[in-house]
Amino acid sequence: MTQAQTPTVLLLPGWQNSDPEHWQSRWQALYGYQRLEQHDWQRPLRGDWTARLHEAVMASPQPLVLVAHSLGCILLAWWAAHAPAAATAKVSAALLVAPGDVEQADLREHIPGWAPVAMQPLPFPAVLVGSHNDPYCSHTRAQSFAQAWGAQWVDAGDAGHINTASGLADWPSGHQLLQQLIKDTCHGNNP
């Protein structure tokens, strides 16, 4: 990737969007990253959300690095498993944080229509950050997502759902992971 092809960072929030104090919102304010806006944050429909992501990817003049949180991770995996190669080729890399396990009984009830989770390898380099005490996804399940998606696993310890309630503020260590992923991708090294 040349300097002229510096990737655009596209944030993929999860169910109910990322509130103003969420690290995704703070990164958007601090670094000017773009946010994928969905039509309905409260009642997410997988087909609608997938179509919106596909439109955003295809409309981007620059390569993209996707930064997904919670349901955004599940969206990314589903889209990547079903999108044509010409679309996924526009994505340089992805940072996936605290995937929400939509096959877990309580989430399946609140967010119907998102199971099963796509478990195919992602066609681009990825890093997945998971927590030991995430109420929306067990540590073991998060690791199984990383393995299935071919993502590098990063253990965040006891960080909850890695959201506003986790008290991360600007989450500088997460941003360092993103910057390293971009650097590795730009130099052709898979993380």
Q: pTM, whole model, 2 decimals?
A: 0.94
pLDDT of residue 127: 98
How many domains does the chain contain in total?
1
Range of the domain at 30: 3-186
pLDDT of residue 6: 83
Going across the sheet that includes 91-97, the strands are 34-35, 8-12, 64-69, 91-97, 126-130, 152-155
Quick one: CA dihedral 4, 175, 21, 158, positive or negative? Answer: positive
CATH number at residue 32: 3.40.50.1820
Do the domain assignments include residue 191?
Answer: no
Query: What does the pLDDT look like over 109-158, one tens digit per residue?
Result: 899 999 999 999 999 999 999 999 999 999 999 999 999 999 999 999 99
Do the domain assignments include residue 86?
Answer: yes
Do the domain assignments include residue 40?
Answer: yes
**CB within 8 Å of 10: residues ≥ 6 apart:** 33, 34, 35, 36, 56, 57, 60, 64, 65, 66, 67
Query: What does the pLDDT look like over 89-121, one tens digit per residue?
Result: 999 999 999 999 999 988 988 999 999 999 999
pLDDT of residue 187: 55
Q: Is-contact 15 31, C-beta < 8 A?
A: no
